[in-house]
Amino acid sequence: MAKSEAEVLEGLAAIVAEETGLDAADVQTDKSFTDDLDIDSLSMMTIVTLAEEEFDVRIPDEDVKNLVTVGDAVKYITGAQA
Amino acid sequence: MTTLTIKRGPEFSRILGLGVARGENVVPNDDIIEPIDSSDEWIRKMTGIATRVRANSETSVIDLSERASLEAIAKAGIDATEIDAVILSTITYPHMTPGGAPVLADRIGATPAAAYDISAACAGYCYGIAQADALVRAGTARNVLVVGAEKMSDFIDPADRSISYLLGDAAGAVVIGSSDTPGIGPTVWGSDGAGAQLIRQTASWLDVRDGSAEAFPTLVQEGPSVYKWASFKMGPVALEAIEAAGITPNDIQAFIPHQANTRIIDQMVKQIGLPEHVAVGRDIVDSGNTSAASIPLATERLYRDGAVKSGDLALQIGFGAGLVYAAQVVVLP
């Protein structure tokens, strides 16, 4: 069943926390992956891959550059769910 | 009806000896950061690399190959004349023809061994092992010399931020021959040409001829995409190679992946679920990414560090431009 934006945010925050060691509570929709959370391009790919598995969606590599903020990713994943 | 005589080889093959040759110069990050506007800290964080080995300008792919091959042959305890095939895996031999392997075979006294080059980039060493294993067991060759050799520094752009700063020059060689016990497990290999553009030469030789190439062709990559593919698609391939050999991750003593990036190596270790006792090849820190040479280099380093010994089981996996990949479990010589 498709997850709501709040559920996607919760799941994504857990993935980001696991990859970066950040507190999941700090992973908010207005945060920029690069500027606020200090996530580099390789860690971003790990997060994307784990999110693809977690939410059963496909995020093509060329779309990753458009996911600037956590909110961008939440919207993308929510919309991509079958 | 007339029937053909078919040769049959030994039941098993193994690696008899290993040799390596690194480029003569150890190049620290500080020496290459200016054109890419980077820092030692950034390169270490993103790749794990502290230095890369690069050859003198007059040193060729064949020179590096010769040094590694002579060591491998000596350690195998055979004469070069007992080698029936020479396989040179390289993407940086600067002639389309003739191949480098016949030149190498002549240099080391292996004439008239069959000799040919293969182009499988960073998977080239494991591709060569797969072929050598098959040639020996089919009775086509008594001993096969497999060489992974690259002079990557001839095909880099110092201002390229995608891959050039990773690359080093080196050769690694092994002799594969018959064995009384299994020494090379089944190879799990494949390709995915849909990703052909992820690691590529910037222009074709025809572009150079026609004047449409902006500069001499060099290598570039889509780093994050390659990272994702290697980190998450290659773990299952490595596990398949372990299963194909009829063992479990607990049975191996070493994991020796292509030395592309320590971040990829770390992620693969995680994906495979390697037990802590397994030694992991991390020669990239000092030698850089030497493409087809990187697995034998990392193997040699593990011996030198006392992390492995003769008879140990090592899982090796090569992956790179193509995209191509190959993995097998081997008994270390």
Strands B25-28 and B313-320: unpaired
Whether the pLDDT of residue B286 is over 80: the answer is yes
What SS3 state is found at B300? helix
Q: From CA A47, how far away is CA B235, in angstroms rounded?
A: 17
Tokens of B2: 């007339």
CATH class label, A5-80? mainly alpha
- Mean pLDDT score, B70-90: 98
Is B7 among the domain residues?
A: no
What's B185's DSSP letter? Answer: P
Neighbouring CB atoms inside 10 A of B220's CB total 19
- Mean pLDDT score, B2-9: 92
Q: From CA A5, how far away is CA A11, in angstroms rounded?
A: 10
- Mean pLDDT score, B68-80: 98
Selecting among A23, A35, A38, A40, the annotated active-site residue is A40
Q: Compute the count of residue pairs across chains A and B with CB atoms less than 8 Å apart.
A: 29
Kindly determine whether residue B224 and residue A49, on different chains, have CB atoms separated by under 8 Å: no
Q: Which of B179, B206, B241 is the last residue of a domain?
A: B179
- Asked if B46 and B129 sit in the same domain, the reply is yes
Min Cα–Cα distance to chain A from B224, Å:
6
For the beta sheet containing B12-22, the strands, ordered from the edge strand earlier in sequence to the opposite edge, are B12-22, B169-179, B143-151, B83-89, B114-118
Q: State CA B133 to chain mean position distance.
A: 16
- Asked if B28 and B174 sit in the same domain, the reply is yes
pLDDT at A2: 86
Residues of A in CB contact (< 8 Å) with B are: 40-42, 44-46, 48-49, 61, 64
Chain B residue numbers with beta carbons less than 8 Å from the beta carbon of A42 are 46, 223-224, 227, 261, 263
- Asked if B38 and B171 sit in the same domain, the reply is yes
Chain B residue numbers with beta carbons less than 8 Å from the beta carbon of A46 are 228, 231, 267
Instruction: Indicate which CATH number applies to the domain containing B276.
Output: 3.40.47.10
Q: State CA B48 to chain mean position distance.
A: 19
Instruction: Name the pLDDT band for A54 (thresholds 50, 70, 90).
Output: very high
Min Cα–Cα distance to chain B from A66, Å:
14
Instruction: Name the pLDDT band for A59 (thresholds 50, 70, 90).
Output: very high
CB B20 within 8 A of CB B170: yes
- Mean pLDDT score, B202-224: 94
- Asked if B153 and B219 sit in the same domain, the reply is no
- Mean pLDDT score, B35-64: 97
CB B90 within 8 A of CB B100: yes
- Asked if B37 and B108 sit in the same domain, the reply is yes
Q: State CA B113 to chain mean position distance.
A: 22
Please confirm, yes or no, whether B289 is among the known catalytic residues.
yes
Whether the pLDDT of residue A82 is over 70: the answer is no
Of B45, B228, B261, the CB nearest to A61: B228
Q: From CA A39, how far away is CA B263, in angstroms rounded?
A: 14
pLDDT at A61: 94
- Mean pLDDT score, B210-217: 92
Instruction: Name the pLDDT band for A1 (thresholds 50, 70, 90).
Output: confident
Query: Which of B144, B171, B153 has its CA nearest to residue B52?
Result: B153
Kindly determine whether residue A44 and residue B231, on different chains, have CB atoms separated by under 8 Å: no
Domain ranges for chain A, please list them.
Answer: 5-80
Taking the model in full, what pTM does it have? 0.95
Chain B residue numbers with beta carbons less than 8 Å from the beta carbon of A49 are 228, 231-232
Q: Which of B156, B179, B202 is the last residue of a domain?
A: B179
Q: Which domain holds residue B174?
A: 12-179
pLDDT at B214: 87
Tell the residue number behind the tokens 């939440």, with chain if given: A74
Number of independent structural domains in chain B: 2
Checking ipTM against 0.90, whether it exceeds it is yes
Chain B residue numbers with beta carbons less than 8 Å from the beta carbon of A48 are 228
pLDDT at B326: 98
pLDDT digits 0-9 by tens, A5-36: 999 999 999 999 999 999 999 999 999 999 99
- Asked if B151 and B17 sit in the same domain, the reply is yes
Q: From CA B95, how far away is CA B70, in angstroms rounded?
A: 23
Minimum Cα–Cα distance from A62: chain B residue: B225
Cβ partners under 8 Å of residue B100, min gap 6: B61, B62, B65, B88, B90, B93, B117, B149
Selecting among B29, B122, B126, B261, the annotated active-site residue is B122
Q: Which of B116, B145, B179 is the last residue of a domain?
A: B179
Supply the DSSP string of B169-188, one letter for each residue.
EEEEEEEEEEESS--BPPPE
- Asked if B227 and B167 sit in the same domain, the reply is no
pLDDT digits 0-9 by tens, B89-128: 999 999 999 999 999 999 999 999 999 999 999 999 999 9
Give first-to-last CA distance, chain A, whole Å. Answer: 8
Is B44 among the domain residues?
A: yes
pLDDT digits 0-9 by tens, B133-167: 999 999 999 999 999 999 999 999 999 999 999 99
